[in-house]
Amino acid sequence: MTKGTHTAGTRAVVLLSGGLDSTTCLAWAQAQGYACTTLAVDYGQRHRVELDAARRVATALGVTDHRVVRVDLRAIGGSALTAEIELPRDRDEAAMAAAIPSTYVPARNTVFLALALGLAETLEATEIVAGMNAVDYSGYPDCRPEFVRGFEALARLATRAGVEGARFTVHTPLMQLDKAGIVRLGAALGVDFGLTHSCYDPSPEGAACGRCDACRLRRKGFREAGVPDPTRYATTPVES
């Protein structure tokens, strides 16, 4: 779901959480020649520090149009990221792959893509870039290729631009990469990983916990990619 280099100035909306994946996607989009508007979503996540990371990343990569939209997914709950549900910690890859984890946020990527679609339509843009990845161990159903294809079909039916002939594309350049592959791609694109944040349960000072799934996958990705991990961990993740 990626294309070749585009004419400089073609507008794209990039979903940007401030994490390793979405930051790499932004760098990829810029390398493709897109003029990028970035969109971060304040959805009531327990790791709100990622919103600050998104602003840092957007500024560092020269984005002049960074938006933040607030959607209260805590009103829905159902996730360890939006409700008083215990976060999984210290899990190995087998445990991560066994079932959809409690960090799955019901309909999150559907909501995020809908917001990106609405913004794209107001900007008269048809390109959306998102960091979905089907290879890592999250098991999230809204990170799979069939979900993205389904959303593209919906976009053609549910928007004025689509009805009038516009063809929206959701680019997912990380879809077939594991975390090490994402780190390698980001490094090749010059991403400063020190600006990014992945942890679900950071300390009040912003240090990564080192124990949640996101920390463990991030650490493993850097190790396997042979790239130094700049993350400040409260507890060094146990190698798995």
pLDDT at position 155, please? Answer: 98
Residues sharing a CB contact under 8 Å with residue 89, sequence separation 6 or more, in sequence order = 209, 211, 212
Contact 128, 66 (CB under 8 A): no
pLDDT of residue 1: 44
C-alpha distances in Å from residue 101, one per residue of 70, 106, 139? 24, 11, 7
Long-range contacts of 112-120 (CB under 8 A, 24+ apart): 112/15, 112/39, 112/41, 113/15, 113/151, 113/170, 115/39, 115/41, 115/69, 115/71, 116/13, 116/15, 116/39, 117/155, 117/158, 117/159, 117/168, 119/13, 119/37, 119/39, 119/67, 120/11, 120/13, 120/168
Q: Please report the domains of the chain, with CATH numbers, ordered by start residue.
A: 10-225 (3.40.50.620)
3-state secondary structure of 128: strand
Look at residue 240 in the predicted model and tell me its pLDDT: 56
Average pLDDT for the chain: 93
pLDDT value of residue 237? 66
What averages of pLDDT result for each successive group of 10 residues across the chain (240 residues)? Answer: 58 98 98 98 95 98 98 97 95 89 95 98 98 81 94 97 97 96 98 97 92 94 97 79
Residue-level pLDDT at 4: 47
Nearest-angstrom CA–CA distance, 140 and 100: 6
pLDDT score recorded for residue 227: 98
Angle at 23 between CA 29 and CA 86, to 5 degrees: 140
Dihedral angle at the C-alpha atoms of 83, 199, 58, 149, nearest 10 degrees? -70
For residue 2, the model assigns a pLDDT of 45
